[in-house]
Amino acid sequence: MAKLKSLTIDDSPVSNFVIDENSSNSNTINYKYRKWNNGVIEIWIRETKTINFTDVWYDIGRYNDYSLKTSTFVPPVKAVDMSYMSCEKGGGGIHYVSPDAITVNTDGTISIYAYVVNAGPTTEENNKTLNLCTYIVGTWK
């Protein structure tokens, strides 16, 4: 496979460009990543997951722990610089994700830990199928 070592447009060097990108889709989890020449990696994850909201969180609703470890489909990551998580509506009610920790494992995968909150009455049904979305910016070099 040939690798691009430099790029110019109208005789002007372009210092940063995408060198690799890919996506993987399944019924429950979708990955997309983009590696940049300068060492930045962007990762998008969308997971459909049924969550059982069992723990009461004050009197506004219920929460449960959420964790995800990226697959080896995503290239190894050296560090995470920033992340953003959101929850697409699914199953009724108001839901949001409260990130807790993101760690880079020794094999370069990323473990994500968060609380998913069901901000409805505590008597509302517990099992909800939600689409949890994560965007991560880190480094691969």
Instruction: Convert the pLDDT of each residue in 102-130 to its tens digit.
Output: 888 888 888 888 877 776 655 555 677 78
Residues in the chain, pLDDT under 50:
59-60
**In the sheet where 18-25 sits, what is the strand order?**
18-25, 29-36, 40-52, 127-139, 79-88
pLDDT reported for residue 92: 59
Q: What is the pLDDT of residue 59?
A: 46
Measured between alpha carbons, how far is residue 140 from residues 18, 42, 54, 106 in Å?
13, 10, 37, 13
- Nearest-5° Cα angle at 33, 31 to 37: 170
Tell me what pLDDT residue 43 has.
93
Rounded CA separation 9/74 (Å): 30
Q: Residue 93 and residue 118: Cα distance in Å, rounded?
A: 7
**What integer pLDDT is reported at residue 110 of this predicted model?**
87
- Look-up: residue for tokens 């790029």? 7
pLDDT for the residue 22: 92
Q: Are 123 and 44 in contact (CB under 8 A)?
A: no
The domain locations on the chain are 48-141
Q: In this structure, which amino acid lies at residue 113? A: Y
Predicted pLDDT at 85 = 85
Q: Does the predicted TM-score (pTM) go above 0.85?
A: no
C-alpha–C-alpha distance, residues 48 and 70, integer Å: 14
CB-based burial label for 11 (10 Å; 0-12, 13-18, 19+) = exposed
